[in-house]
């Protein structure tokens, strides 16, 4: 891991490739490049590597834990000699300078620099407010975060005793965001996707008051379901009633000229995975998936879908036009019945709105030359919607293409 | 010589565990203090000062924080600098100084000292597990289609010696049969040009009869006509591709003129695009039927490439003959992603009609000798008749028959259909075989551009596999990394043979079990099931080792019967 204190152009080899985004695609690019002796600067916005996959509970089609393979990749990134990981940092702009690319990186400095912190607890010993937390890195639930002390800002009075006590000067109570411009040989953009936010105006109109606690987005549902797994019966978030009927609404905001015109490719399998867990957890649940086309083209995916159909998951080929909390309780879903062609409504306890995963792109530096961003190769979901397997393949292939191009141009120059 | 590197953690750890007290609690151990072993510079400083007085193969215990905190960095730094040292970590911070912060200093020091002694006991009982044998630095790519060509071309570009075996007289595979390709609508020949095979040992007209594991390498039997030879490779990329399923007798195929497969239509369109006279060749009223012989109980999978191929051909037909009508009968249009969805929309805009049919049983192709119309019976009793002079059946890809044979010989898993299974989803191109990678349609039906991506990715994985540092085969000690059987205790019951998931255990002629060191993956299954305690995993601590670490004499052991 790279400390923002040591971030300077001199630290980087001129061959360094900047990989923006530390999800599975970005990590695979970084590891593959490092294996081919290309130094990598892996820049991740969040506090941990793993991206969206780290937020998943399980992965299809194996139904295995999502965390383990992702974490082992993250660990490998931290340990690979050729990979420098920069967390809490964002690429805010790209421009070109001759044959090199200048990347403007904004680092959100933390009160305690995780790359420098020894995790020794000297700061906690002197804190009068007990604001510094020492969590055992081997025992904490969240091993994705680097081992470092953490400040509870609600307790901290800013006395500065910890700053003075730190043997390695890792504590800065009033950190300022740092922006550096680094010259790199190439930029690979693996920035993945974002889920539409709940306040999105275009969404609220069609999908009811999207702020209702029983209407979930898919990623939200994944986290909520994972957390509530200890309970025997699934209960609604709003009133705590036992859940009987669950609906998954596919292609919400996707394949729709008003929102995202494309298909996000992963949502059908994602919904089926969640539906099958629910069935396994509570077989009596009545689960419906509203779909446009049920797309399961990947390895082992059709078999997964068929198994779901055999488990009693109801599949309705229809695109609901309205999702709204019903005055009779629950969430009303209006859709065209594919059998009769007539409109009808049904009530559900929980509705999971799926789809509309927006590709993230890197921003262009202010005042940079037009088209400078085209130097950034895209890979993973931000290039073409992909699931974990697709992103991993694309990551390794992108690394191969970079190295081949590099060798070709070096050969040409020589 | 016993050396203990005590990391004072910038003085914070030595405040809880005074150096002198620790030293007197550890007689016979040379205690060296360091300020901050997790920091590379500080670690090197300590080691450089120490290196002169350090005998080779010294046993070093790093007394520092836990593995999850900074301990791994500290030991990693030492191992990288001095490869011949045996290094073990003793966690005396999270494991002692912190939880025992309230205890008496004397007790705390005694506890830390015993943790350090335990670490030394580990080192004494057990050498480092040596790494796996060094593989032959050569890769065999089986199959010269787009995936295989991409893999071979990339490996050659990365400077890895590579052999490409193709059973046909020329490389190219599916590229030779296809015209324009999704998504750029470029010619298949252009892809060919992007994958130069300079520096690749290309063996055309060569079949790979079998591949087997032998002494840390894959031995491939290559047959070229009468000529047969065996060669050794360190890694294998399987890119044997797939073959299209034929429509059979479905929908009048073979009996009615005008009923063709999507592949045949592709060839026809390519011919016209390349300048053949189109008069009378191109259909004017075409009906495409999707999912023929696919997504059924016999073939329960979606071949994933047929929907995009149908849309691509519909667009090409519309471009060549704008007045032609095209109807696509589909169960579901599988067009995931940005580019495919855009193509689907373009097709709809260009007047291609997409008709959803739930059950293909409701579709009947009518005509005498020549196809005339397609009748679709709806569930509500109404029927729809579509005039047609051409019916194109989209059929899936199925695995090559050779794939199953190769998989069996190499001990690889295949799915119910015969496609190679990778470790989905995080390691999709890695198979069960060590150094065996799968790509292209042999793994799952793929477009050409996907096959090329997978080939390139598999090449990177193969190169990485070969670049990893390993120990030469003849340097591996007899009781090296693998499990072994203490023959004097073995009763020959064969439980380990059943339990071993890697097929490494077998019963010899002497009715005693033996372990094949190459196949062994050190999982410990044999040791777990052995009733005689004859199977031993060298990396697992024995009862004796645990007792020594605890500083206790082993209690009377029950003799295994």
Q: What is the pLDDT along chain B (561 residues), one digit of tens a residue?
A: 788 999 998 888 988 899 999 999 998 899 999 988 888 778 888 888 887 777 766 788 999 988 777 888 888 888 777 776 778 899 998 888 888 888 899 999 999 999 999 888 877 765 544 455 566 889 999 999 999 999 999 999 999 999 999 999 999 988 888 888 877 778 888 888 889 999 999 999 999 999 998 777 899 999 998 899 999 999 999 999 999 888 888 888 888 898 999 999 998 998 888 887 777 788 999 999 999 988 888 788 999 999 999 999 999 999 999 999 999 999 989 999 999 999 999 999 999 999 999 888 899 999 888 999 999 998 778 889 999 999 999 999 999 988 998 999 898 989 888 899 998 888 999 998 888 999 999 999 999 999 999 999 999 999 998 887 554 444 444 445 678 788 888 999 999 999 988 788 888 888 888 888 777 777 888 988 999 888 887 766 666 666 666 665 545 445 554
- Look at B425 and A396 and tell me if their CB atoms are within 8 Å: no
Which of A261, A396, A408 has the most B C-beta neighbours within 10 Å, making it the best mutation to test the interface with B?
A396
Burial of B486 from C-beta contacts in 10 A (0-12 / 13-18 / 19+):
middle
Give the one of A32, A120, A263 whose C-beta lies nearest to B341's C-beta. A263
Cβ–Cβ under 8 Å, residues A254 and A89: no
Q: Which of A403, A366, A28 is nearest to A186 (CA)?
A: A403
Six-digit token string for A123 = 């700061």
- DSSP assignment letter at B216: T
Of B41, B81, B39, B35, the closest CA to residue B60 belongs to: B81
Q: What is the pLDDT of residues A25-70, one digit of tens each?
A: 999 999 999 999 999 999 998 888 888 998 888 898 888 888 888 9
Distance in Å, alpha carbon of A138 to nearest chain B alpha carbon? 6
Q: Is A65 on the interface with B (CB under 8 A)?
A: no
Can you tell me the distance from the alpha carbon of A372 to that of B415, in angstroms, rounded to the nearest whole number? 45
Report DSSP state, residue B420.
B
Bridge partners for A315 per DSSP? A289
- Partner-chain residue, chosen from B72, B337, B422, that has the shortest CB–CB distance to A263: B337
A263 to B426: CB separation less than 8 angstroms, yes or no? no
- Minimal Cβ distance to A393: which of B158, B342, B429: B429
pLDDT of A136-169, one tens digit each?
A: 544 444 555 667 888 887 888 889 899 999 988 8
Report chain B residues whose CB lies below 8 A from the CB of A295. 332, 334-336
Cβ neighbours of A365 (radius 10 Å): 19
- Please report which helix (H) or strand (E) contains residue B108, including its range: helix B105-125
Q: Do A299 and B154 touch (CB under 8 A)?
A: no
Q: Is A22 on the interface with B (CB under 8 A)?
A: no
Instruction: Give the distance from CA A157 to its chain's centroid.
Output: 34
Q: Which residues pair with B32 in a beta bridge?
A: B5
Are A368 and A94 within 8 A, CB to CB? yes
Cα–Cα distance between A303 and A300 in angstroms, integer? 6
Q: Who among A62, A339, A399 is closest to B424 (CB)?
A: A62
* Helix pair A388-413, B146-157: axis angle to 10 deg: 50
Cα distances (Å, whole numbers) of residue B152 to A52, B10, B126, B200, B445: 33, 52, 42, 7, 20
List the end-to-end C-alpha distance of chain A, in Å, as a whole number: 35
Q: Which residues in chain A have Cβ-Cβ distances shorter than 8 Å to B419?
A: 299
- For B546, the enclosing helix (H) or strand (E) is helix B543-550
Q: Quick one: tokens of A44?
A: 């991740």
> What are the tokens at B471?
């120990």
Contact B433, B412 (CB under 8 A): yes
Considering only the beta carbons, identify the residue of A136, A384, A397 that sits closest to B457. A397
Element (H, E) at A343: strand A343-348
- Dihedral sign for Cα atoms in the order B188, B190, B191, B195: positive
3-state DSSP percent of chain A in helix, strand and coil, to 5? 30, 25, 45
Q: Cα separation of B87 and B79, whole Å?
A: 7
**Parallel, antiparallel, or unpaired: how do β-strands A314-317 and A286-291 relate?**
parallel
Residue B435, classed as helix, strand or coil, is: coil
- In this complex, do A404 and B336 lie within 8 Å of one another by their Cβ atoms? no
What's the rounded Cα separation, in Å, for the pair B4 and B552? 22
Element (DSSP H or E) covering residue B176: none
With 0-12 / 13-18 / 19 or more C-beta atoms within 10 angstroms meaning exposed / middle / buried, residue B544 is exposed
For residue B321, count other CB atoms closer than 10 A to its CB: 17
Nearest to A396 among B9, B443, B461 (CB): B461
Q: Within its chain, how far is the Cα of B337 from the centroid?
A: 24
Mean residue pLDDT of chain B comes to 86
- State pTM to two decimals: 0.84
Which domains, and CATH codes, for chain B?
A: 2-128 (3.40.50), 139-243+398-468 (3.50.50.60), 246-395 (3.50.50.60), 484-550 (3.30.70.20)
Of the candidates B430, B435, B409, the one whose C-alpha atom is nearest the C-alpha of residue B212 is B409
DSSP state, A263? B
Q: Mind telling me how many Å the CA of A404 is from chain B's nearest CA?
A: 6
How far is A387 from chain B, CA to nearest CA, in Å?
8
Residue A221 in contact with partner chain B when CB distance is under 8 A: no
Shortest Cα distance, chain A CAs vs residue B296, angstroms: 10
Can you give B19-66 as a three-state secondary structure string? Answer: HHHHHHHCCCCEEEEECCCCCHHHHHHHHHHHHCCCCCCCEEEEEECC
Strand, helix or coil for residue B456: helix
Q: A313 is written with which tokens? A: 């998951």
**Angstrom distance (rounded) from CA B496 to CA A118:** 46
First to last CA, chain B: 39
Please list every residue in chain B whose beta carbon sits closer than 8 Å to the beta carbon of residue A250.
none
B323: burial class by Cβ within 10 Å (0-12, 13-18, 19+)?
Answer: exposed
What is the greatest pairwise CA distance in chain B?
103
């Amino acid at each position: 891991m790279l400390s923002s204190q040591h971030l300077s152009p001199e630290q980087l080899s001129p061959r360094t490739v900047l990989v923006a985004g530390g999800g599975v695609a970005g990590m695979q690019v970084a590891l593959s490049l490092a294996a081919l002796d290309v130094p990598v600067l892996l820049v991740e916005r969040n506090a941990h590597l793993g991206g969206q996959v780290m937020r998943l509970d399980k992965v299809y089609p194996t139904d295995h834990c999502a965390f383990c393979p992702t974490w082992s990749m993250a660990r490998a990134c931290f340990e690979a000699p050729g990979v420098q990981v920069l967390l809490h940092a964002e690429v805010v702009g790209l421009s070109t300078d001759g044959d090199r690319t200048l990347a403007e990186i904004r680092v959100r400095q933390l009160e305690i620099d995780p790359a420098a912190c020894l995790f020794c607890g000297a700061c906690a010993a002197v804190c009068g407010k007990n604001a510094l937390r020492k969590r055992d890195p081997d025992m904490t639930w969240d091993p994705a975060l680097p081992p470092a002390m953490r400040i509870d800002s609600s307790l901290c009075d800013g006395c500065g005793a910890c700053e003075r006590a730190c043997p390695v000067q890792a504590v800065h109570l009033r950190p300022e965001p740092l922006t550096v411009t680094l010259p790199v040989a190439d930029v690979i953009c693996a920035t993945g996707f974002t889920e539409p936010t709940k306040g999105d105006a275009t969404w609220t109109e069609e999908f009811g008051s999207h702020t209702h606690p029983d209407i979930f987005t898919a990623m939200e549902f994944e986290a909520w379901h994972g957390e509530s797994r200890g309970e025997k019966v699934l209960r609604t978030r709003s009133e705590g009633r036992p859940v009987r009927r669950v609906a998954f609404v596919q292609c919400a905001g996707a394949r729709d000229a008003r929102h995202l015109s494309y298909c996000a490719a992963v949502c059908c399998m994602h919904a089926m995975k969640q539906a099958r867990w629910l069935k396994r957890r509570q077989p009596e649940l009545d689960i419906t998936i509203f779909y446009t086309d049920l797309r399961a083209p990947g390895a082992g995916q059709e078999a997964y879908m068929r198994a779901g159909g055999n488990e009693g998951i109801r599949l309705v080929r229809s695109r609901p036009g309205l999702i709204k909390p019903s005055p009779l309780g629950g969430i009303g879903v209006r859709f065209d019945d594919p059998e009769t062609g007539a409109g009808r409504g049904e009530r559900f306890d929980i509705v999971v709105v799926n789809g509309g995963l927006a590709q993230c792109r890197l921003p262009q530096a202010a005042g940079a030359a037009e088209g400078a961003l085209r130097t950034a190769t895209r890979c993973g979901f931000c290039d073409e919607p992909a699931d974990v397997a697709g992103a991993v393949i694309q990551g390794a292939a992108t690394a191969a293409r970079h190295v081949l191009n590099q060798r070709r141009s070096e050969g040409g120059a020589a | 010589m016993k050396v203990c590197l005590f990391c004072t953690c910038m003085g914070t750890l030595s405040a809880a565990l005074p150096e002198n007290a620790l030293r007197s609690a550890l007689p016979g151990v040379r205690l060296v203090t360091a300020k901050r072993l997790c920091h590379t510079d500080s670690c090197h400083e300590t080691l450089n000062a120490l290196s002169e007085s350090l005998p080779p193969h010294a046993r070093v215990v790093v007394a520092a924080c836990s593995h999850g905190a900074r301990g791994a960095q500290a030991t990693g730094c030492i191992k990288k600098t001095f490869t011949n040292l045996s290094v073990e970590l003793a966690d005396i911070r999270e494991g002692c100084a912190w939880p025992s912060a309230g205890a008496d200093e004397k007790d705390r020091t005694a506890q830390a000292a015993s943790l350090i002694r335990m670490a030394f006991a580990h080192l004494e009982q057990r050498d480092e597990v040596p790494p796996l044998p060094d593989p032959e630095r050569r890769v065999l790519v089986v199959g010269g289609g787009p995936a295989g060509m991409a893999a071979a071309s990339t490996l050659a570009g990365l400077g890895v010696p590579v052999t490409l075996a193709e059973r046909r007289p020329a490389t190219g595979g599916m590229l030779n049969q296809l015209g324009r390709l999704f998504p750029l609508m470029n010619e298949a020949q252009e892809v060919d040009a992007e994958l130069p095979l300079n520096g690749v040992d290309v063996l055309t007209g060569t079949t790979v009869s079998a591949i087997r594991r032998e002494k840390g390498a894959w031995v491939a039997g290559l047959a070229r006509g009468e000529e047969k030879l065996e060669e050794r490779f360190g890694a294998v990329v399987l890119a044997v591709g797939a073959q299209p399923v034929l429509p059979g007798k479905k929908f009048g195929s073979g009996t009615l003129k005008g009923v063709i497969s999507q592949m045949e239509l592709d060839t026809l369109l390519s011919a016209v695009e390349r300048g053949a006279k189109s008069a009378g060749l191109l259909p004017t009223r075409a009906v495409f039927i999707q999912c023929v012989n696919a997504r059924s109980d016999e073939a329960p999978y979606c071949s994933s490439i047929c929907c995009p191929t149908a849309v691509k051909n519909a667009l090409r037909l519309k471009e060549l003959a704008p007045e032609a009508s095209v109807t696509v009968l589909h169960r579901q249009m599988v067009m995931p992603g940005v580019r495919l969805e855009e193509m689907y929309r373009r097709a709809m805009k260009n007047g291609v009609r997409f008709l959803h049919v739930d059950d293909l049983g409701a579709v009947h192709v009518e005509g005498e000798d020549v196809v005339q119309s397609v009748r679709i019976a709806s569930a509500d009793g109404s029927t729809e008749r579509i005039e047609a002079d051409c019916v194109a059946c989209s059929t899936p890809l199925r695995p090559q028959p050779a794939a199953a044979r190769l998989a069996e010989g190499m001990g690889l898993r295949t799915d119910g259909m015969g496609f190679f299974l990778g470790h989905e989803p995080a390691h999709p191109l890695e198979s069960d075989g060590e150094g065996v990678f799968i790509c292209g349609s042999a793994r799952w039906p793929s477009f050409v551009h996907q096959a090329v991506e997978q080939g390139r990715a598999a090449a990177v994985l193969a190169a990485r596999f070969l670049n990893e540092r390993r120990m030469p085969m003849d340097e591996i000690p007899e009781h090296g990394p693998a499990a072994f059987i203490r023959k004097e205790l073995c009763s020959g019951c064969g439980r380990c043979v059943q339990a071993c998931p890697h097929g490494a255990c077998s019963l010899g002629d002497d009715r005693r079990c033996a372990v094949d060191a190459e196949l062994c993956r050190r999982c410990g299954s044999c040791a777990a099931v052995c009733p005689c305690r004859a199977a031993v995993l060298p990396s697992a601590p024995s009862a004796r080792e645990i007792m020594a670490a605890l500083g206790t004499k082993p209690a009377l052991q029950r003799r295994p019967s």
